[in-house]
Structures are given as C-alpha cells and as structure tokens.
Amino acid sequence: MTFLRELLAVIVGIFVSLFLMIMVFALIGFLMGDGDEIKVKSNSVLILKLKEEIKDYAPKSDDPFEMILDIKDGKMGLNQMINAIENAKDDDNIKGISIEALQINAGISQLQSLRDKLLEFKESGKFITAYADYYDQKNYYLSSVADSIYVNPVGGIDFKGLSVEIPYFKDFEDKYGIKMEVIRHGKYKSAVEPFLFDKMSDENREQTFSFLNSIWGELVEDIGYSINKTSDELNHVADGLLARNPELATENDMIDGSLYKDEYKNKLNNLVGIDLDKKLNLISLEDYIDSGKGRNKSTAKDRIAVIYAQGEIIYGKGNENEIGQELINKALKKARESKNVKAIVLRVNSPGGSGLSSDIMWRELELTKKEKPLVVSMGNYAASGGYYIACNADKIFAEPTTITGSIGVFGAIPNFYGLTEKIGINAEQVGTNKQSVGYSVFEPMNPEFYDVTKEGIETFYKSFVQKVADGRNMTYAQVDSIAQGRVWTGVQAKENGLVDELGSLEDAIEAAAELADLDDYRVRNYPNYKKDINDMFNNVPFVKVNKEKLLQEELGAENYKMYKNIKKISSLKGIQARIPFEMVIE
C-alpha cells in the first residue's frame, strides 16, 4: 500500500509540475509579448481569407487558459464581419478589399449576406478585387462581387450547379439486422427516409430539386448582375464546365485573367497607388476586427437585443453550437425585463431538433412578444424546430436562400432484433404491468407501442401546424397544405406566407427599431456563454485529447460526416422536428 501511495504521489506530482511549467512559460510569453495594439496603417488593403468557420455569433471566449495561451477557437462571427466591412467603407486608411479565400466554411445564406455588404462597400468608390489558386462555387459566388477576378494560371473554377447526395441504409439494415424504427408525419419529412427506403422517394426528389433550383437561381442572378451575364449564359457555362481552366474561364468572361500571386500583388500596389518596390500595407479581416472595428460604436441608451439561436435544438442548457431551452429562455427573460431593451430580434440558424425544447422556447417567445416587439431573422436554416420557434414573431425575415419550413415531426428508435436473432442473443423482459416493459431494442416493435408513439407524433404535428396558423394568421388547412415536412427556400416561404420579408439580420434589426419607434439605438447580443471549470480544462495541453479531431483525421472528411450523422440519428430522444438527415449542398 505504501508503494502504491508513493507511486500515485509521483504521478500526481509530475502532472502538477507539467501544468505549472506550462502556465509559467505561457505567462512569461504573455508578459514578454510586445503587447502592441493592432493599428490600421494608411493606404491599407483589407484581406478576406475566410479560413475560419463562420458562425452567426462567435463571442470572444472567457476561458482564462485560452486568453493566457492565446488559443484561437477557429471561428468568426458574421455579425462582426458585417460590422467590420461597414466600418471599412468609411475608414480613410482602408483603400480597398482583396478577397483571397480558398474554401469558405459558411452557409450560402451567410455568404449572401456578406456579399450584399460587399456590394454596399463598393458604393463608397473603393475597390474590391479577388484572387484564388482555385475557385469552388461558394468562393466564386462571393468573389464575383469584385471589380476584377483573377486565378492562378494552373487553377480554374468549379462552376457546375448545385447538388445534394443522401446515403440510404435500408439494404444495409436488412442485411445485418440493425435498423431504425421510424414513425413520422409528413410525406415530405425526409429526415428519416434513408432508414425506410433503399432509394429517394418521389416526394423527396421533388422537394430537393425545387429548393436546389430556387437557391441556384438566386446565386446565378447575383453572379450575373456582378459580371454582366444572363442566367442562360451562366447555365450554359455550368452545363459545359466552361470555366474549368483559366483559358476557358477567361474566354467565357468568368474571370479577368490568370496571374501568379506576385503578379496579383503588383496589381494591388497599382490599385492603391504606390510603387511596385514599396511595401503594401495589408491587414486581415480578423486583425481588423480585433482592432475594434468589429463593432458599431454607439452611446445610445436604448437597445435592441439580438438573441442568437444557432445549431441543432437539444433538450437542456445548450451552448454556442447547440440550442437549448435553458440558455435561450434565460436570454429572452433578461432582455424582456431590461428597461433599456426596447425590442428583440431572434436570429435563428437551425435545422431543428427536439420538439419538446422547441415548444418550451415557443412559449417563452409568446410571453416575450406580449411585452416587446419581436422580430425573427433567419440564417442558413430555420427549418422544422427552427421554424417552430420563429412562427409566432411579429415579423419574420429570411434570406432568399434560407432553408425553412419542414413543418413535420418524427420519432426514430434503434432496433437490433434482426442482428441478435442471427447471432443467438435472446433478451427476456419481466414487468409488473402490461406496458411497464415498454420498448426493447432486442425485440420487434409491438403494435401497442407503435400506436401510442404514433398518437404522440400526430398530436405534436397538429399542435405545430396550429401554432404556425395562429402565428401567421392562416387557417389550419392552409398551413397543412404547405407543411407535411416540405422544405422551402426563403423566396418560396415568402410566396407561401411563412415569412414576411426577404432580408438580412440588419434589415430585421431596422424593422425591430421601427416597431419600437427608435431612431437611435445600439445592439446587445445574447446569450452569454459562460464555461464551468470542467470546460475550462478542455483546452489545456495534455489534459484532454481532441477526440473529434482525431476521428476526422483517421476516418477522412467524408467518412467522418457519415459517422457523425449515424451517431446523431442514433442518439435522438423524444419527438423530433428537424430537416433531412444529411443535406450538404455542393
């Protein structure tokens, strides 16, 4: 026992020593750093590389370890990016913007909002130019706003139209005896379709083509406006892959030419008006935000609260990446009770999730609307549960490319009976009452359990439709006809009465100010994400291995996506209101 105690003491001592050494070195580095503020020099060019994940809201971390060790969380807030470009428009030190992105980790609606702000920047008379070694469609869509577009001489443009790929598992389930028991309402509710069929249903194919075509139409219209080409001309380029190399892209007026990076830098020098042998002042968008340009300064007393609901909806607390009723309702209550907050904007960017959590938030929003104007702004997604929490607002804004609607519900439960029967595993159940055993993954779903669960699904669906009908001043039949789990774009949703206006978060904030009769105000962002002591240790070296990162490296990007989706659908609890199982638009 003495030996074990001494061994344990040595191990603990080693870890404590390591930790203290890391903290000491980090503190020395922090104190020895130059500590200079980021300053925007005259004749600067703002560089947009956009390597980080773009989220609607990415507040600065309050984790002391991250601050001491200068650990970046790899995220950028769209709200700060929009503010920074707005500030750059009137900043005499910024002469123009250079878009030098490669692969942009953002949704199409986020890019559309960012692109619209860049169009406003151009109205100031300052230049925007773009360069990339290779353009994918998202990057080209954003970069097409530029006055000039250049590509590496051996690069090209992947301009071919949009597509969605959905894996189906029915044959796999039949072969191996592992399946998902599914109960749903809505012929378009395709979230669990991969577990029911071995191919896409006609209804899902219809809705998928419809919203893809609507989104593509928006992209083509925006690009065509910027590069002076018609939609027919751009579709001709896409159909023939006529931008796949610099020669074809130039010939078809998709770019202004091919250059190497050093030649492009010379172009920037000329645009700024300095000699080629002089150093060009460049500042990244990240540094520009950190210099204080990521916020709009105001001394106004009155405020508009913007509450960000981003990620899948879960039952519980929630965090920066998931929407939980605890954090959102706390933020709503705080904003509602604040004397300085005169109106509230709920920014929704969610594919949906827990039906129970959605309903709890709906109720808090209903209470909030009775006291202060409530406006909803939709981002990339505001579908199913995401639309559930949006439907009772005084006014709803969506981006033209927002994925929304999907008014439908389902339940999905794993079942291993086929597998266990094959390999000789038998589970026996004992209970005090007829229904006490309930559902077992080792037995086929019995009719009684199915009927009770189906009843819950139907009841929730009716409640969902009625809430939408009440919130949108429509009849139950009108909502039901456009519900059934059907997915719409923002443009289609406006035509169907599910949203009021097409516009950005800025537009929604302005509408909230108008409802509150405000001329001068400032924006206050919610929720506050506070980490507990366990969360704080997650980023300390040697304390916790980043399991997700290791899995991604081992499995590869595509296999990791599939792993995450199977894991996600297998862990669902309760009635779900969410959009299709996997929908990556490419």
Query: Among the listed ranges 136-150, 349-363, 431-445, which one has the minimum average pLDDT value?
Result: 431-445
C-beta of residue 244 within 8 angstroms of C-beta of residue 157: yes
When mean pLDDT is compared across 21-35, 78-92, 340-354, 370-384, the lowest value belongs to 21-35
Which pLDDT belongs to residue 181? Answer: 87
**pLDDT, position 299:** 84
End-to-end CA distance of the chain: 62
- Would the pLDDT of 186 be above 80? no
Closest CA relative to residue 63, chosen from 531, 540, 534: 531
Give the Cα separation of 377 and 394 in Å (integer). Answer: 11
Under DSSP, is residue 4 helix (H, G, I), strand (E, B) or coil? helix
Residue in 190, 226, 258, 384 annotated catalytic: 384
Give the span between the Cα atoms of 235 and 242, in whole angstroms: 10
Paired strand residues for 314:
324
Amino acid of residue 414? P
- Burial pattern 66-99, b for ≥16 Cβ within 10 A else e, equals beebeeebebbbbbbbbbbbbbbbebeebbbbbb
pLDDT at 426 over 60: yes
Contact in structure between 462 and 192 (CB atoms under 8 Å): no
Helix (H, G, I), strand (E, B) or coil at 176: helix
In this predicted structure, what is the pLDDT of residue 545? 43
Decide: 476 and 486 in contact? Cβ < 8 Å.
no
Q: Give pLDDT tens digits for 308-321.
A: 999 999 999 999 99
Contact present, 584 and 492 (Cβ < 8 Å) = no
Q: What percent of the chain has pLDDT over 90?
A: 66
Amino acid sitting at position 451: D
Residue 285 has pLDDT above 80, yes or no: yes
How confident is the model at residue 187, as a pLDDT?
75
113 pLDDT higher than 70: yes
For 466, the 3-state DSSP assignment is: helix
Mean pLDDT score, 490-512: 97
For 532-586, write each residue's pLDDT tens digit: 545 544 544 444 445 555 555 555 555 555 555 555 555 555 566 666 545 566 6
Residue by residue, DSSP assigns 368-407 as HHTTS-EEEEEEEEEETHHHHTTTTSSEEEE-TT-EEE--
Residues 6+ apart with CB under 8 A from 480: 465
State residue 360's pLDDT score: 97
- pTM value is 0.85
Residues 6+ apart with CB under 8 A from 561: 582, 584
Is residue 160 exposed (0-12), middle (13-18) or buried (19+ Cβ within 10 Å)?
A: middle
Distance of CA 534 to the CA centre of its chain: 26
CA distances from 422 to 169, 177, 417 (A): 19, 8, 9
Count of C-beta atoms within a 10 Å radius of residue 524:
16
Residue 88's pLDDT band (cuts 50, 70, 90): very high
CA distance linking residue 79 with residue 89, whole number of Å: 16
E strands within 214-277? 257-258
Question: What Cα–Cα distance (Å) separates residue 289 from each residue in 77, 504, 517?
Answer: 10, 20, 30
CA distances in angstroms from 466 to 80, 356, 398, 471, 485, listed in the order given? 37, 16, 21, 8, 14
pLDDT for 441-465, tens place per residue? 899 988 888 888 899 999 999 999 9
CA distances from 476 to 14, 384, 467 (A): 67, 17, 9
Question: pLDDT at residue 14 above 80?
Answer: no
- Per-residue confidence (pLDDT) for residue 482, from 0 to 100: 95
Range of lowest pLDDT (2-11, 122-131, 370-379, 385-394): 2-11
Query: Alpha helix locations (H) across 54-126?
Result: 64-69, 78-89, 108-122
* % of the chain residues with pLDDT over 70: 82
Looking at residue 542, its pLDDT comes to: 42
* Active-site residue (options: 117, 189, 293, 342): 189
Tokens of residue 394, six digits: 């005084």
* Average confidence (pLDDT) over 489-501: 97
Of the pLDDT bands very low, low, confident and very high (cuts 50, 70, 90), residue 413 is: confident
Are 118 and 128 in contact by the 8 Å Cβ rule? The answer is yes
The reply to whether 279 belongs to the active site is: no
Whether 189 is catalytic is yes
Element (H, E) at 303: strand 303-310
Domains of the chain: 44-160+241-293 (3.90.226.10), 303-428+440-543+559-577 (3.90.226.10)
* Confidence band for 261, pLDDT divided at 50, 70 and 90: very high
pLDDT at 543: 42
Lowest mean pLDDT among 226-240, 334-348, 438-452: 438-452
Describe the strand order of the beta sheet including 148-151 as a list of residue ranges.
Answer: 257-258, 148-151, 127-132, 94-99, 44-48, 281-284
pLDDT in tens, 349-369: 999 999 999 999 999 999 999
Contact 211, 580 (CB under 8 A): no
> What is the residue-wise DSSP string for 10-72?
HHHHHHHHHHHHHHHHHHHHHHHS--PPP---TTEEEEE---SEEES--PPP--HHHHHHT--
| pLDDT range class, residue 298, cuts 50, 70, 90 | confident
Residue 98 DSSP class: E
Q: Kindly report which listed range (183-197, 331-345, 445-459) carries the lowest average pLDDT score.
A: 183-197
Across the range 468-496, mean pLDDT stands at 96
CB 308 within 8 A of CB 530: no
The sign one gets for the Cα dihedral 477, 481, 485, 488 is negative
